[in-house]
Structure 1
Amino acid sequence: MLHLLNLFAAIALLIWATQLVRTGVLRLFGESLRRMLAASMGAWPKAMLSGMVVTCIVQSSTATSLIVSSFVGKGLVATAPALVVMLGADIGTSVMALVYSFDLSWLSPLLIFVGVVAHLSREKSSTGQLGQIGIGLGLITLALQLIVESTRPLVEAPLVRTLLVSIPNDLGIELAVGAVLAILSYSSLAVVLLVATLADQGLVPVPTALGLVLGANLGRALVAVLSVLRSDVATRRLPMGTLVFKIAACALAAPFMATFHVWLQEGVPQVLQQIVVFNLIFNAAQALLFVPVVKPLAQALERWMAPPPQIDERTPRHLDRLALDTPSLALSCAAREALRQADAVETMLRGIVPVIRGNDLGEAERLRKMDDVVDALYSAIKLYLTQISRQPLSERESQRWTEIVSFTINMEQIGDIIERVLQDVEDKKIRKQRRFSEAGMAEIIHLHERLMANLRLGMSVFLDGHPRDAQRLLEEKARFRELEHAYAGKHLDRLKENTADSIETSSLHLDLISDLKRINSHICSIAYPILEPAGALAKTRLRPSRMAGLDDIRG
């Protein structure tokens, strides 16, 4: 009983260690790996190689599938190159299984010791994350050693040997068991290593082990499909295509399993190596065999799984729940949704001048209702960011989190101001059939043009985060304030001249240019979270001499 408990504990340690490595790598290198995948969606050799490399680093083709699926769901990548990436990802998982099949017992204590020291000494830094990865790698090799030691007494037991002899050689059962193990462990890599180790110890016959490996590969595709069940149709397209490939590959391999066993016995002396080499050959052959049919399958999937038209603009499109375990990817999703919120604000802002010029009540009402979209997206993004903050974030991720929060708050407040401006225009101008003077209208148009340019600059600053552009945006705040003061003064001059149109719309005109200045202030606030870490913000806008004068008055 104790030996069986030790075996279960070693298996649990193997599964947990693979997840520890995957989590650490995604947190530390998630953004870089995402960019690498996005940049490689050209020729199929490059796409396949990138999928293989990323999966070797992440230690999970499922994680690669979720990243690439999000690209497909957002329309950044076509389905065909994404399928090629996943064929390479399967090879990457097989390569790592082959690497772990070698004797790395000498490396395990070193990785664990160095990893623990690095992680405890600098937990929040990149060094701490590297330490976590080192701990995971060391524990994987340690778990494999423990599995070997735990299985030796079990193999020698007469009852166990009797049970092994009685195991039916049924490929269907082996596929089902292997798939279930991969789904339960969320790691086909762990299952392949486990099966190879058990076969090497004689606890599982080699033909059965080969069938279990096929099942683990099938289970890997099922895990990806199950992980995106609640996502949109476009995101589910890639895992479904991968599952189709995997089912076809298992069906083609099934009639030749006995032949494969004979070939492996002749070419590979060790049983452990036979299992992992078979896994590698299976996935490499699958990739080479199915690359020519990637495009037809992608076209069929796009016809079969076409996304429905978006009806409710208030529904978030980019807040992928599956990305929450990878902060860098989740922050990217939140940023894309924040830009969608900003697009709605830009539409509202652009419509102010046409409403004023055309006295269009219908358009004013439509634009005011768009504030509901801005508010709904703000609430959704805020909730999503709250869930991201529960994960350990690096310094750069924490800064990006702050930038997104600040950006969405400013967009929500701008939407509220625009809604109020449009309501004032309806009540004080359109319904009362008043109009601005030509000079007053020209001033409003000029301020509006500057505002639109600043909003586009603000969105660029939020997207790219360049301090130089952020500084330019902040400088616009002072220029806009000066324009607002100047135009308010000119309006008062027109009042002194008893200009009829200016008198009728005086209150609305002054409120309007004041509200435009407030909108500009919110736009310029986008620069603060970017400039503050760079040390580019002054502590106060007051001059030192004025500060001294205030101190004298207080004294």
Structure 2
Amino acid sequence: MSTSHVLVSLAGAIALLLWGIHMVHSGVLRAFGANLRHVLGVGLKTRARAFAAGLGVTAILQSSTATAMMATSFAAGGMVELAPALAVMLGANVGTTLITQVLSFDIAMVFPVLLVAGVFAFRNGRLSRTRDLGRVAIGLGLMLLALHLLVATIEPLEQLPGLRAVLAALTGEPLIALLLAAVLTWAAHSSVATILLVMSLAGAQMLTPTAVMAMVLGANLGSAINPLLAGGHGGAARLRLPLGNLANRLLGCALLLPLLGPLAEWLGRIDPDPTRLAVNFHTGFNLLLAAVFILPLPWIARLLQRLLPDAPVVDDPARARHLDPADIDTPAVALANATREILRMTEVLETMLRGSREVFRTADRRRVAEIRRMDDTLDGLYAQVHRYLAAIGHDGMDEEDGRRLTELLAFAVNLEHAGDIVEKNLMELAAKRIKQHMVLPGEATAEIDEMHRRLIEHLQLAVTVLMTGDGDAARRLVVEKDRFRNLERAASGRLIGRARSGRAEGVEEAGLRLDVARDLKRIEAHLAAAAYPLLEASGELRPSRLAT
């Protein structure tokens, strides 16, 4: 077998391994994503419980990066203290060693069973969770198959002295071997893949014990880089946890790198198998860091907070508060975040409608300007919600999640359009009335006031429909839309009657009432749209108003 053939086969096996890890990760997130986040949140109370929660969640997800992103969001949001969050990362680092321990044993005959069971569950499962667990089984089977292919590919390398010499040159110096493994882990986003590759190379006698241990250190170091880069755009609060995790890895590597020779000799006496050397050192390294750092975590947390102080908080109402990027890969949690932000949008729109109701009773120019500025807040929130919903990974989304995403996006669009009507139309009419010193009769003011009151009530109904799927509220929204249509017709009739009478007085007032009624009816139509998906699903909505 040529060197190029070996390298291509090796790259294919590594790619299959990474895809298997991805399938396990996405399958677990689909099946238990929200529950895992809850477990992690409950665990972030004490250092011991946080360590156990981090270990368990990472062992299931097979990704310390995913656990780090969840813990970072908790810590950055102020929901937990930094010290327990750091304990989560110590547990997560130990959790990554469990899968490598399992895969280090000869379980090659298990992968056909996992693949068959996984495909059967994925294709025939009636429940979405059954299909998700089938995906997990397929991923585990692919990981074991990839490991089998790695071993089969690497075994002939003993007959290629040129490749052996290149590998020996790359890993001859422990520091170079460490940096090489760190780069590979950073690029692959998986320390598990790097450890399994090192384990396979060690089993084929392609690496010295010192090089094996140096590359294990590098894999641990590289896995701490991605969470740090991901937190770089979230300010000091998002940097503390990944920076603390990277710092303890760096310190551990610096302390053990000069001792690799004696450690390799000592571990070789315990278990001479070079494959076991890689996984045992991987586990031992992370257990050692956990034992050393678990007690001084509060001091470390205070040091990190001093080095990375919080920036002065600027209360920007247009800044999203709940759209955590760490939850993008967990659709159920990300959709809940988006729902909370959309509720903020409804609060802004309700404030705008209440203000509009007020300015048609008074002549406050400043209030008109304030309401127009509120539309900028609504537009800013909508843009952030739209980007967030678009970024949610469809790979981890089931049919119900997809339907919910569509509903949320449509509702957010309608809220944004309703805000535009208030800002561009109603406030223009209010400003015109104030500028021209137009005094509306009591009847007209009472009618506009009542329409605003109903619209605010209907906005709350629309929120109820969105949150609970209340069929009665949905039907009431559609009925009220027809009532607004009748109010518009009545206002139009008044205007026509005044114009035909030939009297100029009252025509302008009637025109204003008609314009307000039309704009409020348009807002009502946007709110009523929240009821359509529910009524269509129950068969209560006709596809067309045309007579058949």
SS of the residue corresponding to residue 351 of structure 1 reads helix
Matched ranges for 1:433-448 at <5 A: 433-436=437-440, 441=445, 444-445=448-449, 447-448=451-452
Mapping for residues 412-431 of structure 1, pairs under 5 Å: 412-419=416-423, 420-428=425-433, 430-431=434-435
Amino acid at match of 2:68: S
* Alpha-carbon spacing, 1:276–1:134, altered in 2? closer, same or farther (3 Å): same
Q: Which moved more, 1:180-189 or 1:514-523?
A: 514-523
* 3-state SS in 2 of match to 1:365: helix
2-structure distance, mates of 1:483, 1:161? 81
Report the Cα offset of residue 252 of structure 1.
4.1
| CA deviation profile, 1:47-74 (whole Å, cap 9, x unmatched) | 3322222222221111222333344455
Distance 1:449 1:36, change over 3 A: farther
Output aligned runs, 1:115-514, within 5 Å.
Answer: 115-119=118-122, 126-155=129-158, 157=160, 170-254=173-257, 256-258=259-261, 260-268=263-271, 270-302=273-305, 304=308, 306-307=310-311, 309-310=313-314, 324-388=328-392, 391=395, 393-419=397-423, 420-428=425-433, 430-436=434-440, 441=445, 444-445=448-449, 447-459=451-463, 461-462=465-466, 465-468=467-470, 471-472=472-473, 474-475=475-476, 478=479, 505-509=509-513, 511-512=515-516
Equivalent residues of 2:157, 2:163 under 8 A apart: yes
Report the TM-score when normalising by structure 2: 0.82
8 Å CA contact retained: 1:352, 1:422: yes
SS at match of 1:286: helix
Distance 1:90 1:392, change over 3 A: closer
TM-score (norm 1): 0.81
**CA displacement at 1:189 relative to structure 2:** 0.9
Q: Indicate conservation of the 8 Å contact 1:440/1:502, yes or no.
A: no
Q: What is the aligned counterpart of 2:15 among 12, 16, 19? A: 12
SS of 1:31's equivalent? helix
Q: Which amino acid aligns with 1:87?
A: L
Question: CA distance change for structure 1 residues 204 and 295 in 2, over 3 Å: closer, same or farther?
Answer: same
Aligned letter for 1:409?
V
Q: Give structure 2 stretches of 5+ with no counterpart.
A: 499-504
State the 1:130 CA deviation: 3.5
**What residue identity is the alignment partner of 1:418?**
V
What does residue 84 of structure 2 align with? 81
Identity of aligned residues (%): 35
Higher deviation after alignment, 134-143 or 349-358 = 349-358
* Gap change, CA 1:347 and 1:239, over 3 Å in 2: farther
1:40 aligns with 2:30: no
> Partners in 1 of 2:479 and 2:408 — Cα distance?
24
What's the CA shift for 1:284?
2.7
- Kept after mapping to 2: 8 A contact 1:51/1:64: yes
What is the Cα deviation at residue 139 of structure 1?
Answer: 1.6
Q: CA-to-partner distance for each residue in 1:345-378, whole Å, 9 max, x for gaps?
A: 2332232234334422122123113323433443
Distance 1:239 1:211 in 2: 22
The answer as to whether partners of 2:87 and 2:297 remain within 8 angstroms in 1 is yes
The answer on whether the counterparts of 2:491 and 2:513 sit within 8 Å (CA) in structure 1 is: no
Alpha-carbon distance between aligned partners in 2 of 1:507 and 1:164, rounded to the nearest angstrom:
85
- Note if contact 1:126-1:394 (Cα within 8 Å) is conserved in structure 2: no
User: Which region of structure 1 is more displaced relative to structure 2, 37-46 or 441-450?
Assistant: 441-450
Tell me, in whole angstroms, the C-alpha distance in 2 between the residues paired with 1:536 and 1:361.
47
Question: Residue type matched to 2:473 in 1?
Answer: R
State the secondary structure of the residue aligned to 1:57. helix
- Give a deviation string over 1:398-421, Cα, whole Å, max 9, x none: 111111121112101210221111
Report the 3-state secondary structure (helix = DSSP H, G, I; strand = E; otherwise coil) of the residue aligned with 2:199.
helix
| Aligned residue type for 2:366 | G
Q: Which piece of structure 1 moves more, 342-351 or 66-75?
A: 66-75
**Equivalents in 2 of 1:394, 1:220: separation in Å?**
29
Structure 2: distance between partners of 1:374 and 1:478: 27
Distance, in Å, in 1 between the alignment partners of 2:364 and 2:202 is 77
Cα separation, 2, equivalents of 1:457 and 1:92 = 47
1:69 pairs, out of 65, 68, 72, with: 72
Residues 392, 267 of structure 1: CA spacing in aligned structure 2 closer, same or farther, 3 A cutoff? closer
Distance 1:22 1:165 in 2: 34
Residues 524 and 208 of structure 1: CA distance in aligned 2, closer, same or farther (over 3 Å)? same
Q: In structure 1, give the amino acid aligned to 2:22.
A: Q
- My pick for the range that moved more, 32-41 or 274-283, is 32-41
Q: What displacement does 1:515 show?
A: 4.0
**Range that drifts further, 336-345 or 357-366:** 336-345
Q: Which runs of 5+ in 1 are unaligned?
A: none
One-letter amino acid matched to 2:64: S
Matched-pair contact (CA < 8 Å) for 2:532–2:541: no
Q: Letter of the 2:472 partner, please give it.
A: Q
Q: Is the contact between residue 13 and residue 146 of structure 2 (CA under 8 Å) also seen in structure 1?
A: yes
